[in-house]
Amino acid sequence: MTTDAVTVRVPGKINLGLFVGPLREDGYHELSTVFHAVSLFDHVTVQPADDWSVHVTGPFADRVPTDGSNLAMVAARTLAARRQRRATVPPVRIDIDKQIPVAGGMAGGSADAAAALVACRELWTLDHIENELLETMAASLGSDVPFLLHGGTAIGSGRGEQITPVLARGELHWVLWAGEGLTLSTPAVYVELDRLREERGTEVGAPEPPGDLLTALRRMDTDAVAATLHNDLQEAAVSLHPILAEVLEAGQELGARGGVVSGSGPTVAFLVGSQAQAIDLSVGLAANGPTGEILRAMGPVPGTQLVHRVGQG
């Protein structure tokens, strides 16, 4: 049977803990982060075509590039280059249903790259490309990409690309605030953190995995998780977009157990105790908080998953 189209589902992520070490010589910062995949999913479909192309639909589609810079396209071509050592592969048309906010600190581009790797491996029946090699390719595409292959809750170390799964029972309920048209560039936020640290003369040591957060996750104690949410990039994100301080305050006043900027932001993630509380908080934020899109999600959820394969033959 030949496969005509493959669809893969992939989640966005938030960082429950993000501890940033010193700037390394290669331009990256040493990290210790706790990634958490949440139930906002992009769907990426690949099918053979005459030319390479990307087509994006969904609420955030107008903010996503459809040229060769789209990370799903970069990923597919990276895998094709690998395959071409053995045989040529036809170009693919890539369709992305984009539900993860763009340039929001939820790794939507990285998610699409991870999905494209898995979808094209299936489409091109590259069974000899094992998960380990796929992870190496994922890391070459971006520091967040290996986590999106795994999903769940996991520690990221190195520059974030080395993944160790974390035991986390049960579910966490989230309300996400994504500023309409508000974006932040990841490198710009890291640069701002370095600037703030230099201004203050802060000594920066090697980042450590956060023991208190990991214990709270093992017990799935929502209040303890809320109390240990932490992001070293938050002050840099707030410095670049001061409205984020108002968003964090509004969420707390409206009943969130805890709140944190996700990754480099500007998406803000609020933790609540149940689905009912998530509905209450999202209604409150929509009515009384700073203007933004309010989304609800739960985590942890799995990483890339094959959801559909259409074949003939």
Ligand X SMILES: Nc1ncnc2c1ncn2[C@@H]1O[C@H](COP(=O)(O)OP(=O)(O)O)[C@@H](O)[C@H]1O
SS3 for 170?
coil
In the bound state with ligand SUD, the residue whose beta carbon lies nearer, of 24 and 219, is 24
User: 102 contacts which partner out of ligand X, ligand SUD, none, CB within 5 to 8 A by kind?
Assistant: ligand X
Dihedrals φ, ψ of 96, to 5°?
Answer: -120, 120
Sorted by sequence, the CB contacts under 8 Å of residue 84 that are 6+ apart come out as none
The reply, when asked if residue 111 is annotated as ligand binding, is yes
Sheet containing 172-178: order of strands: 258-261, 268-272, 172-178, 293-299
User: 15 contacts which partner out of ligand SUD, ligand X, none, CB within 5 to 8 A by kind?
Assistant: ligand SUD
Sorted by sequence, the CB contacts under 8 Å of residue 284 that are 6+ apart come out as 254, 255
Contact call for residue 105 and ligand SUD (CB under 6 A): yes
Number of residues that bind ligand SUD (CB under 6 A): 20
Indicate the DSSP class of residue 171. Answer: -
Q: How far is the CB of 136 from ligand SUD (least distance, A)?
A: 14
The alpha carbon of 103 is separated from its chain's Cα centroid by a whole number of angstroms, namely 10
The reply, when asked if residue 110 is annotated as ligand binding, is yes
Q: How far is the CB of 41 from ligand SUD (least distance, A)?
A: 16
User: 289 contacts which partner out of ligand X, ligand SUD, none, CB within 5 to 8 A by kind?
Assistant: none
Q: Annotated active-site positions, please?
A: 13, 144
In the bound state with ligand SUD, the residue whose beta carbon lies nearer, of 110 and 304, is 110
Judge contact between 173 and 299, C-beta under 8 A: no
| The residue type at 30 | E
Contact call for residue 19 and ligand SUD (CB under 6 A): no
Candidates 29, 36, 121, 257: give the one binding ligand SUD (CB under 6 A): 29
* Per-residue interface string for the shown chain with ligand SUD, residues 170-209, x marking contact by CB under 6 A: ----------------xx--x-------------------
Stretch of 27-35, 41-49, 203-211, 215-223 contacting ligand SUD, by CB under 6 A:
27-35
The reply, when asked if residue 107 is annotated as ligand binding, is yes
Sorted by sequence, the CB contacts under 8 Å of residue 241 that are 6+ apart come out as 179, 182, 184, 265, 266
Sorted by sequence, the CB contacts under 8 Å of residue 255 that are 6+ apart come out as 272, 277, 280, 281, 284
Candidates 11, 17, 101, 142: give the one binding ligand SUD (CB under 6 A): 142
